[in-house]
């Protein structure tokens, strides 16, 4: 028993105690260390001293010969060339989120050639990077004293980040566009040679060798800097536009019928917003409603097994997920259809919990950027709230949260307040996590600027508002005039099945086949239904909808897959004989047989032919 000893081994991830004996060889002891810390046998080195002297080699000498005694501390350092950990090492729970946040004015003198990776930016970013971006002005007849070909201070083109010009627009623009901010950083004599966008990190830097790991030690090298919240001067998206009112009306129908709140993902594309220099607009073409539970005051998202498929189908249609939308509506007078004006300057515009959710979504959808060493900076993911306006009508308000908020959310430093939705709370440091100090500036009762600790924190410092609009002339990516049921609305009795598909087709019998299938929810049903999924064979139809090509749609209509879909629709019954007028060969389908099984309109149970009442719910067939 006297031979048993305990050796302390300190690493950048913490200290562990390794049981051993005096007669144990160094090679056997190093194997224990590798197993305990989760390293490969050659992925680390162990030293007698903190300054990496006195390395313990894998040899047959005993620990007593190496003068290692009970209670001694050794120092482990991962190898730089082969320091790969084994699969047993567990990462931090928030390390899977991308590192994507920055102060509104953060830039450092790091040459882009050596620090910025080769990044594939979005198409809209590549397009705007090639534009001139300058604001051209006509010759002022009163102030300009030069000829038609001359220029002076009154008519020379302005830079896209000119604050005076933005403030005099109608309405004034509080935030310059992100690409205007890039022009500001990359302008000047050096043409942005040393401009780089730095992402904020609220975590302790790993690998600091001069002290024990947190909570036993910390230094200025590894300690994250304190954060002073500033209102961000730019925004990644300058306008949100729904293609038509039908998209929003169908989304609001759920609240109108149930009184419960609703959430959905916005699918669309990013285009140029010409009202603001180098601006970006998020155009919404469809809303996908994931599985969720909701009531009048709250909603909860559920796991969505179809999320990846929806993104894949949207990508093939030339769309991407541009944001999310949720309702916060409370009826005031049902007779005239008014709603309460809840969100205003006296309450809040976004609650702290909603800001944290927005920051989480923005971290999930980072913005590729060539000026960032990480390859990403900020996000174009937007938040839309359907709520009551000053006129007690439904208004759509658009927001994003700042890059500082994204960093606080990503590193799990921000919490909501239970009784005050307009206030957030910066976490305090604990033995498990170091949290940097977060400050914000405000004016006291004497009008002086005072710095406050963000416990609590007004969320106005984290919010960026975005104008949300509808076009004068409606646009339609999906041209179907009929409405196929929206997914995950079983509580309303709106189910996506072949009976609803048969009913939908019966209503569209007089239109072209391309218009029939040009419905986002219908295409998702064709791909994700469990009876006849068309995930591997619908590519041609998606191309037809994307390009509005009637010939491609007609070609796919003659496929075996569509013939099978029509046969399944005829099996469920309950539709006119002309409902399947677009058969696989282009001719009219045969009338539905009276001897076929029929689906109950009330509970969708499949009943045997010849019965007039549902065997499940006992309601009449008609």
What global pTM score does this model have?
0.73
Q: How far apart are CA 306 and CA 318, in angstroms?
A: 19
3-state secondary structure of 266: strand
Q: Once rounded to an integer, what is the mean pLDDT over residues 82-111? A: 38
Model pLDDT, residue 357: 95
Band the pLDDT of 14: cuts 50, 70, 90: confident
3-state secondary structure of 334: coil
Q: How far apart are CA 330 and CA 328, in angstroms?
A: 7
Tell me the domain boundaries of the chain: 4-78, 234-439+462-469, 490-573
Mean pLDDT for all residues in the chain: 84
- Per residue in 204-262, pLDDT (tens digit) is 888 788 888 888 888 888 889 999 998 899 999 999 999 999 999 999 999 999 999 99
DSSP string, 127-193: HHHTS---B--PPPTTT--S-TT---TTTSPBPTT-HHHHHTSSS--SSEEHHHHHHHHH-TTTTTT
Assess whether pLDDT exceeds 70 at residue 3: yes
Assess whether pLDDT exceeds 80 at residue 580: no
Please say whether the beta carbons of 533 and 525 come within 8 A. no
Assess whether pLDDT exceeds 80 at residue 368: yes
Band the pLDDT of 613: cuts 50, 70, 90: confident
Model pLDDT, residue 486: 94
Q: Could you name the CATH architecture of 4-78?
A: Roll (3.10)
Assess whether pLDDT exceeds 60 at residue 536: yes
Please say whether the beta carbons of 127 and 272 come within 8 A. yes
Neighbours of 394 (CB within 10 A): 19
Q: Once rounded to an integer, what is the mean pLDDT over residues 187-205? A: 77
Nearby residues of 170 by Cβ (< 8 Å), 6 or more positions away: none
Q: How far apart, in Å, are the Cα atoms of 528 and each of 372, 384, 546?
A: 38, 27, 19
Q: Which helix (H) or strand (E) holds 282?
A: strand 279-288
- Per CATH, which fold does 234-439+462-469 belong to? Cytidine Deaminase; domain 2 (3.40.140)
Q: How far apart are CA 533 and CA 535, in angstroms?
A: 6
Which residue has better confidence, 146 or 310?
310
Model pLDDT, residue 104: 40
Q: Once rounded to an integer, what is the mean pLDDT over residues 412-434? A: 91
């Amino acid at each position: 028993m006297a031979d048993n000893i305990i050796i302390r081994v300190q690493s950048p991830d913490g200290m562990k105690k390794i049981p051993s004996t005096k007669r144990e060889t160094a090679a056997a002891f190093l194997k224990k260390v590798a197993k305990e810390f989760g390293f490969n046998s050659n992925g680390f080195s162990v030293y007698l001293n903190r300054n990496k002297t006195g390395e313990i080699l894998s040899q047959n000498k005993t620990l007593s010969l190496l003068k290692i005694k009970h209670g001694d501390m050794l120092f482990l350092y991962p190898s730089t060339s082969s320091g790969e950990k084994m699969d047993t090492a567990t990462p931090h729970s928030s390390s899977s989120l991308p590192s994507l946040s920055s102060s509104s004015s953060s830039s450092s003198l790091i040459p882009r050639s050596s620090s910025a990776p080769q990044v594939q930016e979005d198409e809209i970013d590549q397009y705007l990077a090639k534009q001139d971006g300058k604001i051209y002005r006509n010759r002022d007849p009163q102030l300009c004293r030069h000829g038609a070909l001359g220029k002076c201070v009154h008519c020379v083109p302005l830079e896209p980040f000119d604050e005076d010009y933005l403030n005099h627009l109608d309405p004034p623009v509080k935030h310059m566009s992100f690409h205007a901010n890039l022009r500001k950083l990359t302008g000047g004599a050096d043409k942005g040679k040393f401009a780089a966008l730095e992402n904020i990190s609220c975590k302790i830097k790993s690998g600091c060798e001069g002290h024990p790991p947190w909570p036993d030690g910390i230094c200025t090298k590894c300690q994250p800097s304190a954060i002073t919240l500033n209102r961000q001067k730019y925004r990644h998206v300058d306008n949100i536009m729904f293609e038509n009112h039908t998209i929003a009306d169908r989304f609001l129908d759920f609240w109108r019928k149930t009184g419960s709140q609703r959430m959905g993902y916005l699918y669309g594309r990013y285009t140029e917003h010409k009202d603001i220099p180098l601006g970006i607009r998020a155009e919404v073409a469809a809303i996908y409603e994931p599985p969720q539970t909701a009531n009048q005051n709250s909603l909860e998202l559920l796991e969505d097994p179809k999320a990846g498929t929806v993104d894949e189908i949207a990508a093939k249609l030339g769309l991407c997920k541009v944001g999310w939308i949720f309702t916060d509506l409370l009826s005031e007078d049902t007779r005239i259809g008014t709603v309460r004006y809840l969100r205003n300057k006296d309450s809040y515009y976004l609650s702290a919990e909603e800001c944290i959710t927005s920051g989480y979504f923005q971290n999930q959808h980072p913005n590729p950027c060539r000026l960032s060493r990480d390859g990403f900076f900020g996000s174009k993911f937007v938040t839309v709230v359907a709520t009551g306006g000053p006129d007690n009508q439904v208004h759509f308000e658009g927001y994003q949260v700042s890059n500082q908020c994204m960093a606080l959310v990503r590193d799990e430093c921000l919490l909501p307040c239970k009784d005050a939705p307009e206030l957030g709370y910066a976490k305090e440091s604990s033995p498990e996590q170091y949290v940097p100090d977060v400050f914000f500036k405000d004016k006291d009762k004497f009008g002086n600027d005072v710095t406050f600790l963000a416990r609590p924190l007004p969320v106005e410092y984290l919010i960026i508002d975005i104008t949300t609009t509808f076009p004068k002339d409606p646009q339609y990516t999906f041209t179907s005039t009929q409405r196929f049921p929206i997914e995950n609305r079983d509580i309303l009795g709106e189910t996506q099945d072949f009976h609803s598909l048969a009913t939908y087709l019966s209503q569209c019998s007089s239109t072209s086949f391309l218009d029939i299938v040009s419905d986002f929810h219908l295409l998702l049903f064709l791909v994700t239904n469990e009876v006849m999924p068309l995930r591997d064979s619908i590519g041609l139809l998606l191309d037809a909808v994307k390009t509005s090509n009637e010939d491609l749609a007609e070609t796919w209509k003659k496929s075996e897959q569509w013939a099978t879909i029509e046969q399944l629709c005829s099996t469920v019954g309950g539709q006119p004989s002309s409902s399947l007028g677009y058969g696989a060969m282009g001719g009219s389908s045969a009338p539905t047989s009276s001897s076929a099984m029929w689906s109950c309109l009330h509970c969708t149970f499949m009943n045997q032919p010849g019965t007039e009442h549902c065997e499940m719910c006992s309601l009449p067939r008609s």
